[in-house]
Amino acid sequence: MTEASPDDAAPPATRCGFVALIGAPNVGKSTLVNALVGSKVTIVSRKVQTTRALIRGIVVENNAQIILVDTPGIFAPKRRLDRAMVSIAWSGAHDADLVCVLLDAREGLDAEADAILTKLADVAHPKILVINKIDLVAREKLLALAKAANDRMAFAQTFMIAALSGDGVDDLRTTLASMVPPGPFHYPEDQMSDAPIRHLAAEITREKIFQKLHQELPYRSTVETESWTERNDKSVRIEQTIYVERESQRKIVLGKAGATIKSIGADARKEIAEIIEQPVHLFLFVKVRENWGEDPDRYREMGLEFPTE
């Protein structure tokens, strides 16, 4: 009879860690989170700075749980809201086990990328260079960019990917899984995102406002889920408020005879219903709140600290 070695009895070794994605606005962080997770967890938009709060995607790969911290694009902060976004981005980088630095293959080491690399010198965690949007540039240019970035800063690894098509994303996922530290999973295995579903539903409505209104306005609006009621027939009644800063903006969101808000609501309802796999009744209200950008409560709702400076 052979005796079982202690190893046979031990559970399989797991790994778990936080990976911060850092990069200039529009570099493709949200697209990458979605590609790594394999399901839509954060909103993606052609406009810059759509990601306000710290939304995580969670990936399980080869006995490892990778918790992705999708930070807002880093940029020179002027308004209070912008400063809150920048400060949360950097706290994400310092708290994470690994940092993925994203560069846009087309933009290369432009002023924004350069500022990020300078700031990253203070972050002690291993850094991985991810050059995204490789579908848009020639191979020689990519190699030159990889070299220039590595000359500038020591990266543990360099990846060239196209987050949109998924090219190179599997390799990156496998590498991240091997690099996060050993430890138990922080979240149940089937969880994709810890963004509360109410928050995700508000993000979806905000995404629809972006899509319908191609102007400055969406940056001046915020959406909150006020109530979420499960009904006996398995449907959900959701009430959301869209805050804008001025009456003129409220009129734009409503549209002629309410046409714009109706169409925003119809699109948002459909997508929320698909995600929660339940019928949804969505009620949208538009309220004017002057200077909501200076109201601490609105920040709390978005999961941001209110900067006091």
Ligand X SMILES: Nc1nc2c(ncn2[C@@H]2O[C@H](COP(=O)(O)OP(=O)(O)OP(=O)(O)O)[C@@H](O)[C@H]2O)c(=O)[nH]1
Q: Interacting stretch for ligand X, rule CB under 6 A, among 40-48, 214-222, 263-271, 280-288?
A: 40-48
Distance of CA 69 to the CA centre of its chain: 7
Q: Does 218 bind ligand X (CB under 6 A)?
A: no
Q: Interacting stretch for ligand X, rule CB under 6 A, among 20-28, 183-191, 223-231, 290-298?
A: 20-28
CB of 27 to ligand X, least distance (A): 4
User: Is 23 known as a binding-site position?
Assistant: yes
**CA pair distance 254, 237, nearest whole angstrom:** 21
> Contact at 8 Å (CB) between 71 and 93?
yes
Which tokens go with 47? 């406009």
Single residue of 40, 58, 65, 72 touching ligand X by CB under 6 A? 72
Which tokens go with 240? 């959301």
Radius of gyration of the chain (CA): 21
Distance of CA 87 to the CA centre of its chain: 15
Single residue of 14, 45, 91, 278 touching ligand X by CB under 6 A? 45
Phi, psi of 105 (to 5 degrees): -55, -35
Quick one: which of 64, 116, 115, 62 has its CA closest to 92? 116
Dihedral over Cα of 260, 263, 269, 272: its sign: negative
Which tokens go with 21? 């994605």
In the complex with ligand X, the residue whose CB is nearer, 26 or 241, is 26
In the complex with ligand X, the residue whose CB is nearer, 85 or 179, is 85
Q: Does 92 bind ligand X (CB under 6 A)?
A: no
Single residue of 115, 123, 164, 275 touching ligand X by CB under 6 A? 164
CB of 295 to ligand X, least distance (A): 22
Q: Interacting stretch for ligand X, rule CB under 6 A, among 24-32, 172-180, 206-214, 267-275?
A: 24-32
Contact residues for ligand X (CB under 6 A)? 23, 25-31, 44-46, 48-51, 72-73, 132-133, 135-136, 162-164
